Amino acid sequence: MSRYTVKQVAALTGVSPATLRAWERRYTVVEPERTASKYRLYDDADVARLSRMAELVAGGTPASLAAEEVTRDAPLLAAAGAPGSAAVPSAQGAPPLAPLADRPADDQLVTAAQSLDPVLLDRTLDQAFAAGSFEQVVDGWLMPALTQIGVAWTEGRLDVAGEHFVSGAVHRRLAHSFEAAGGRAGAPVVVVGLPPGSFHQLAVLAFATVLRRQGMDVRYLGPDVPTDSWVRTVTQLRPDAVVVGVPTTLDVDSATEVAAALRGTTSVMLGGAAASAVDTVGASILAGSVVDSARTLSATLHGS
């Protein structure tokens, strides 16, 4: 974990030192540590928040509202800004996610899907995403609930239209969070997407969002990216890492093909429920939940 002086933070965020101090004084948007002689010492979480605030302000949001917005997610960014100490292959050292308190009943999303009722669906999602941090909700509620949707569909209890109906709404929620997490110019670049023929993008979008919230510069390509497009993209962007999603066993072959084609170009990683079934030709597996995977990748990149 690095520490930065005002001048460094000014360079990183593009905000003048005087303005940084004014933001701190007026909105308490950060409270950096101090040296014995009162010099400010910002950490990564502070920089992430100030970058986000700078971005909002540049986009036309008044500083006071931007500060409020940034401060709202405070506890989570604090956790994300302190990734594990060393290059440990798994995300040890990161605090475990607290369990969710008032999340909706496990089958409420299925009920909403069956009813095609947007009011019930919205209420369910509102309730879920209000129950904790984005990371807590994704791992603790969203992914299990989506699994239930899949089960209900295979058992014939849920029509495709109902599945589409909730998938679309969940996609919109995730999209909003992804956008809200903002870009991070200068941060490690990570390309994220799905192999050709793979369309289930909810988990990988959630993953991309968590990565963004941890300060990565995520380039999200979405579903069904042809193998040669992966190669061209990596050649063009030279990212610090590439993550290929493997949501189902049906995607194993195409993911293997993509991984093989990318071998040697950069750090290639495979994530998702079926990732472990891929023959890892020079690629690594991101094991565990969505948030675990993101933390593992984050730790790896910060260690290198």
Partner DNA sequence: CGGGGTTAGACAAAGTCTAGACAAAGCCTA
Partner DNA sequence: TAGGCTTTGTCTAGACTTTGTCTAACCCCG
Burial environment of residue 41 by CB neighbours within 10 A (0 to 12, 13 to 18, 19 or more): middle
Binding to a copy of itself by residue 21, rule CB under 8 A? no
Smaller CB distance to a copy of itself: residue 31 or 122? 122
The burial of 49, by beta-carbon neighbours within 10 Å (0-12 exposed, 13-18 middle, 19 or more buried), is given as buried
Can you read off the two tokens belonging to residue 183? 């870009």
When asked if residue 71 is in the footprint of DNA (CB under 7 A), the reply is: no
Q: Which residues of 276-286 are buried (b: 16+ CB within 10 A; e: fewer)?
A: ebbebeebbbb
11 binds a copy of itself (CB under 8 A): yes
Pick the closest to residue 189 from 256, 238, 129, 235 (CA basis).
238
* Closer CB to a copy of itself, 166 or 286, in the complex: 166
Q: In this structure, what token pair is assigned to residue 107?
A: 């089958």
Q: What are the b/e assignments for 77-88, b being 16+ CB within 10 Å? A: bbbbbebbeeee
β 40-41/33-34 pair status: antiparallel
* Residue 52 contacts DNA per CB under 7 A: no
The reply to whether 220 sits near a copy of itself by the rule CB under 8 A is: yes
Minimum CB–partner distance for residue 175 and a copy of itself (Å)? 4
Asked if residue 131 binds DNA (CB under 7 A), the reply is no
Q: Which parts of 3-42 interact with DNA (CB under 7 A)? A: 5-8, 15-19, 21-23, 25-26, 34-40
Residues near a copy of itself, by CB under 8 A: 2-5, 7-8, 11, 41, 59-62, 65, 68-69, 116, 118-119, 122, 126, 130, 159-161, 164-165, 167-168, 171-173, 175-176, 178-179, 183, 185, 193, 217, 219-226, 229-230, 232-233, 236-237
Interface residues with DNA (CB under 7 A)? Answer: 5-8, 15-19, 21-23, 25-26, 34-40, 57, 62-65
